[in-house]
A = this chain, B = another copy of it.
Amino acid sequence: MVEDGYAAVTTRRLASEVGVNSTLVYYYFETMDELFLELFRRGAQRSLERQVEVLSSPKPLRGLWDLTHDLTSTTLTNEFIALANHRKVIRSEIAEYSKKFRRMQLDRLTSVLEGYGVDADEWPASAVILLMASASRFMLIEEAFDVDIGHAETVALIERLISRYETDSR
């Protein structure tokens, strides 16, 4: 799915990569939709656990930023979004998880930013979170196309802002 797009994930291809018969897929999954759903849930659950971890760490802002830098999970997310465009059952599942992720981030970062003395009227936590997530996702997509104009500057800008509140130990 990451390498060749969601359309490349077929019963035959799956089976041949594992070295079994293609119909065996239907012994483990009702339909291909179910397979995609389980795949999504598994990845989302893992990401959720990692997010709980970094949000409760002493540097939640930096942790969140690092987390959104995971190439594989971002590529996968993009494929699921594209998949959701013509597999409607996937759509609601993604929506629910997205909201869950965002609410957790918001819950934690609202108080964290307040503690850092950030003016919530000018830089609301919800906007800060969204800007970080979107920049990260956007750059990873572009990298896959060897487009990297402004990437270094953007990363530097964001990390400079983070370092203002959470010292860089890397």
Q: Which secondary structure characterizes the binding site on chain A?
A: helix
Cβ distance A125 to chain B, nearest Cβ, rounded Å: 8
Instruction: Give every chain B residue within 8 A of A49 (Cβ-Cβ).
Output: none
Task: Work out how many copies of this chain go into the complex.
Answer: 2
Interface size on A, residues (CB 8 A): 48
Complex Cα gap A144–B14 (Å): 30
Q: Is the CB of A82 within 8 A of B86?
A: no
Residues 54-95 of chain A, each 1 if its beta carbon lies under 8 Å from chain B, else 0 = 000000000000000000000000110111111000010011
Q: A84-B145, A130-B149, A131-B131 are in contact. List 9 more A-B contacts (CB 8 A).
A: A79-B82, A98-B147, A99-B147, A102-B149, A126-B154, A127-B154, A127-B157, A130-B153, A134-B137
A residues with CB within 8 A of B: 4-8, 78-79, 81-86, 91, 94-95, 98-99, 102-103, 106, 122-124, 126-127, 129-131, 133-135, 137-139, 141-142, 145-147, 149-151, 153-154, 156-157, 160
